[in-house]
Amino acid sequence: EWLSKGHGEYREIPSEREFFQEVKESENVVCHFYRDSTFRCKILDRHLAILSKKHLETKFLKLNVEKAPFLCERLRIKVIPTLALLKDGKTQDYVVGFTDLGNTDDFTTETLEWRLGSSDILNYSGNLMEPPFQNQKKFGTNFTKLEKKTIRGKKYDSDSDDD
C-alpha cells in the first residue's frame, strides 16, 4: 500500500499543488526544500535517498524553493536546506540547516535518521536519547572567556551619558 503511494523512493515534486496532494495521502512525510545552487542540498539528497529505501513508513519528497514561493512563505522557510517534517498533513517539525546534525557537512546518514526519529517521523531503532554524533570526535573549537572591555576604561558598565 505504501509503495503504491510513492513510499520507498526519494523523488522530486514539480509544484506546490502536488505537495498538498502528496502530504494528504501519507501519514509521515519528509519534504526537503532545496535549491540547485546550494551544495549542502546535494549532501542531504544523498542521505535522504538512502533513508527512503530503508524507511518505507515515511514518504520522502523534495521541492525546489524557486518553484514554490507561496509554500515557503506559508511554512516560514528561510534557510536552505530545510526539511519539513509532516505528520497527518500538518507540519510537525523542521530540520533547518545542519545545526541538529552535529553542525558539520560530513554527518552520517544515521545522524539524520536519529533526528527524524526524534520527531517521530520514522521508526528509529537506536536510542533516541543519544545522538549518534555525540560519540564521534567533538567538532568546533573551545572558546575561552575574555574579560569585558569598556570604552571609557571603567570597571562598571553604564548606559547613561550624563557623567
Question: What is the structure's pLDDT at 130?
Answer: 79
User: Which residues in the chain land under pLDDT 70?
Assistant: 133-163
Q: 40-80: per-residue pLDDT in tens?
A: 999 999 999 999 999 989 999 999 999 999 999 999 999 99
Peptide bond into 69 cis (omega under 30): no
The tally of CA atoms less than 13 A away on the side-chain side of residue 43 is: 16
Q: What is the pTM of this model?
A: 0.77
Distance of CA 100 to the CA centre of its chain: 7
Whole-number percent of the chain with pLDDT over 70: 81
- Cα angle 32, 3, 84 (rounded to 5 degrees) comes to 20
Question: What is the structure's pLDDT at 95?
Answer: 93
Q: Which amino acid is at 18?
A: E
Q: Do the Cβ atoms of 111 and 102 come closer than 8 Å?
A: yes
